[in-house]
Amino acid sequence: MNIIENAKKYAEGKANQAITKAIADAYVEGYKAGYKDREEEIPMDLRDNKTEYVDLGLPSGTLWASDYEKSNGEYIYLPYEKAKHMKLPTEKQWKELKDFCDITYSNVVVVNDDGVIKATVTGPNRKSITLFTTGYIELEKKSKDSALFWLHDESEASKKKAVQLHTYNLINNSDVICSYPAGFKLPIRLVR
């Protein structure tokens, strides 16, 4: 090989390295930008990972948040479009919770000066979480007649699945999964 051929091979190698590095850097920057865009869609308090989870001893190992998501001590209500980016429970996870846990209720308890129905969900390992009739917000009007939270729903339907607990549902062991317009604002219960 002559010196020109060696120089050519050396230059090709350096060019390939430079191109590979440029592409890798572009992917990294694109990932960071996409992550930042998604992160900005989630309210600040929900990004801080302040959520505490409870191991109820479920067969799947799913951990449920000990409470609804809050900001400054108040429940956060989000439309589905904002909530869907969070770790919402699936219908399967809700059914597992219902099948393997004991759910008991109290007719009226006082929480934040409101009379609410309280459902205590006790897992196989005797640890528990509490669900309250937190209600929902429709056109800025708040209704507190049931305990609600969004379920992960990949359908294209304009109504999205949610858990709706009434005392009636608990006493009669009836189905508590219902659909709500995606624009309604429901509280958020997370799983991990």
- Averaged pLDDT in 10-residue chunks for the chain of 192 residues: 77 80 77 61 55 95 95 90 94 94 75 68 96 82 76 90 71 71 92 94
Identify the pLDDT of residue 57.
96
Identify the pLDDT of residue 96.
96
The rounded distance, in Å, linking the Cα atoms of 18 and 56 is 52
The amino acid sitting at 30 is: G
Q: Choose among 76, 86, 1: nearest CA to 41.
A: 86
Residue with tokens 């007649």, as numbered in its chain:
145
Identify the pLDDT of residue 35.
57
The rounded distance, in Å, linking the Cα atoms of 192 and 189 is 10
Identify the pLDDT of residue 45.
47
Collapsing DSSP states into helix, strand and coil, what is residue 135?
A: coil
60 burial class (0-12, 13-18, 19+ CB within 10 angstroms)?
exposed
Identify the pLDDT of residue 24.
75
